[in-house]
Amino acid sequence: MSNRWLVLTLLFLIRTAMAFQFGTVGALGPIVGQTFQVDAAGVGLLVGLYLAPGLIFALPGGAIGRYLGDKRAVLTGLTLMTLGGLISAFGTTWEEQLVGRVLAGGGGVVLNVLMSKMVTDWFDGREIATAMALFVNSWPAGIGIALLVQPHAANSGGVTGAFALTAVFAAIGFASLLLLYRQPKVTTGPAGGLLYGKTLACILLAGGMWGLFNASFAMIFAFGPILLTGRGWEIASASSATSIAVWLSALSVPIGGIVADWSKRPNLVIVIGLVFTAVAMAALPRASSMLSALVVAGLISGLPVGAIMALPARVLAPPNRALGMGLFFTVFYVFVFLGPPIAGALIDKTGWDGAAMDFGAFMLIIAAILLWVFERLAVSVESDEQS
């Protein structure tokens, strides 16, 4: 496999398997709660635990890939995803579910960090923005598939069958990468460079924005089915309806990137996407037609993705890029890990299943404020570099 677009397709499909595994708990939220006798906070914890290993492994992720090689490191990650999926499938206790989720999530962290680097290696100096936008879209695609497929899989095979399906997809990804992927010819220099001062602050702010955005988006697919089933929907219909927002978001991601590049006003695209998505999320539990609110949220929520992901490049030089992106993803994982269990606890405390959507809207507004701070610091960093 030497064509970079075929490589991108392969990596997209493998990361889709990761997103499918991550989105499975949200798609089966009510069933998981009933099977293991846990409340909404417990379901939220299980959602967030998949991303918890990123708190430890995201920062040294580049070093792990350098030591093992990108391909072997990702194969290791897929092995962990397969084992974790099997433990979740055949584990009968809540503790086993937690262990399986963390193990699978650890493998997912390796994929998330290193496969981003692999895409960069293949498209460096070429269509990197387009490639990254398409690659990032594997996340909503996998979650959308989980929302559509997993309720039916659970109806026929229980949670065992649904979780086993995530292990099967991870195993297929392992075989595909092993047989088809090869390393590109790239020139790499020694890693180095430190982050300090305004540059460090910018990376923390950018990672916070990306984390808040993704944690907010998780409210839709993690608690959307719970919200809809509370209104009398069947679980399969509720998950399918929630998947509409996810699929529409996947369509809007490349549109947002194109508009940001064409207009040369990426910050405006970010603000519009964040604010209007916040309004749609706040309206969701209050709307007479929740389906319409889901459609609006989906159409808007993907717009800021590309522009947010491009923020670190404004302040990171090549010597500190690996360290900077590791820190960026570490902050991201903090927010996406904490978001779902906090939202679940809010539902349990208030007794209102719309609390998660309000919490998501709040996080998006905070992300817009962080962008305001980032822009002022980034301008200063760019000015210092020019001088």
- CATH classification (class only), 4-386: mainly alpha
pLDDT, tens digit, for every residue of 152-201? 898 888 889 999 999 999 999 999 999 999 888 755 555 555 667 888 99
Residue 181 burial (CB count, 10 A): 18
Q: How far is residue 15's CA from residue 56's CA, in Å, rounded to a whole number?
A: 20
| Per-residue pLDDT tens over the stretch 56-111 | 878 776 667 667 778 898 999 999 999 999 999 999 888 999 999 999 999 998 88
- Residue 95 makes CB contacts below 8 A (sequence gap 6+) with none
Query: pLDDT for 7-54, tens place per residue?
Result: 999 999 999 999 999 989 888 888 888 888 888 778 888 888 898 888
Between CA 143 and CA 129 the distance in angstroms is: 22
Q: Give pLDDT, residue 321.
A: 67
d(CA 84, CA 347): 28
Query: What is the residue type of 76?
Result: T
Distance, in Å, from the CA atom of 232 to the CA atom of 285, rounded to the nearest integer, reads: 13
**What's the CA gap between 355 and 223, in Å, rounded?**
10
- Who wins on pLDDT, 65 or 331? 331
Q: Where are the domains of the chain?
A: 4-386
Long-range residue pairs from 29-38, CB within 8 A, at least 24 positions apart, any chain: 29/222, 29/223, 29/225, 29/226, 30/225, 30/226, 30/229, 30/235, 31/151, 31/154, 31/159, 31/235, 32/159, 35/158, 35/159, 36/93, 36/94, 36/97, 37/94, 38/94
